[in-house]
A = this chain, B = another copy of it.
Amino acid sequence: MGKKIADRRVRRTREFLQSALVALIVERGYDAVTVQDVLDRANVGRSTFYAHFRDKEDLLLSGAEKLWKQFEEHFASAAVTNETPWMLSLAMFEHAAEQRALYRALSGKQGGNIALQHIQKKLYVSVRDHLKAQAPKRKKGFPPDLLAHYIISSFIAVLTWWLDNDASYTPAQMNEFYRQLVQPGVEQIFPVHA
């Protein structure tokens, strides 16, 4: 089955490109990186690049997707006891700690915000659906989409602050900060113990 081998080659090329992009983003920031730069770094021909990715953003998002997959595995394995939503945020802080360089590259000013927005959207959908499923509980009059948007935006805010200020807090501490900020307000609007 030549296909399998071919796949191996293909995967190798894709990974070269992804790492090259990440490395270059770390060095000079997403916007300053040229497709040609990536090609040179990855020792890959121009046509090969475009055979695999539509453009630079596509390559970046493929990296974000990979990261997300990785996170889902991490979450699945770690959070056997994900009884509360705070386990999810904790898992993400932990994962970010493990892959700090990658997270930094994909977030904030450096990453052009594109990758993290991609992940943020996934998280938002997930939270929104979770809330919708428990609709009756919600305090009347408060737009649920806004609540979801707030929960995720706040999380991303805390996460990026952590990444951008390479403070030496542990994932557990960060999660605690996040919980302290967000839980009181949310519980009043959406009383879990109703």
Question: Which A residues contact B (CB, under 8 angstroms)?
Answer: 113, 142-143, 145-147, 149-150, 153-154, 156-158, 161, 165, 167, 169, 177, 180-186, 188-189
Report how many copies the assembly holds.
4
User: A153 touches which one: B145, B153, B169 (CB < 8 A)?
Assistant: B153
Q: Do residues A184 and B188 form an inter-chain contact, with CB atoms below 8 A?
A: yes
A74 to chain B, nearest CB (A): 24
- List B contacts of A154 (CB < 8 A): 150, 153-154, 157
Q: Do residues B145 and A177 form an inter-chain contact, with CB atoms below 8 A?
A: no
- List B contacts of A158 (CB < 8 A): 146, 149-150
CA distance A135 to B87 in the complex (A): 31
- List B contacts of A167 (CB < 8 A): 143
- List B contacts of A181 (CB < 8 A): 147, 150, 185-186, 189
Q: Do residues A149 and B142 form an inter-chain contact, with CB atoms below 8 A?
A: no
Nearest B-chain residue to A153, judged by Cβ = B157
User: A161 touches which one: B145, B169, B177, B186 (CB < 8 A)?
Assistant: B145
Q: Do residues A157 and B161 form an inter-chain contact, with CB atoms below 8 A?
A: no
CA distance A93 to B171 in the complex (A): 34
A25 to chain B, nearest CB (A): 17
Of A142, A150, A183, which is in contact with the most chain B CB atoms at under 10 Å from its CB? A150
> Are A150 and B157 also in contact (CB < 8 A) when A181-B185, A185-B183 are?
yes
A6 to chain B, nearest CB (A): 15
User: A177 touches which one: B113, B146, B184, B186 (CB < 8 A)?
Assistant: B146
Q: Do residues A185 and B180 form an inter-chain contact, with CB atoms below 8 A?
A: yes
Q: Which 9 A-B pairs have the closest CB atoms?
A: A184-B184, A153-B157, A181-B185, A184-B185, A149-B161, A185-B185, A146-B161, A150-B181, A154-B154
**A-B contact list, 22 entries, CB within 8 Å:** A142-B177, A142-B180, A143-B167, A143-B177, A146-B161, A146-B177, A147-B181, A149-B157, A149-B161, A150-B154, A150-B157, A150-B158, A150-B161, A153-B153, A153-B154, A154-B154, A157-B157, A180-B188, A180-B189, A181-B186, A183-B185, A184-B184
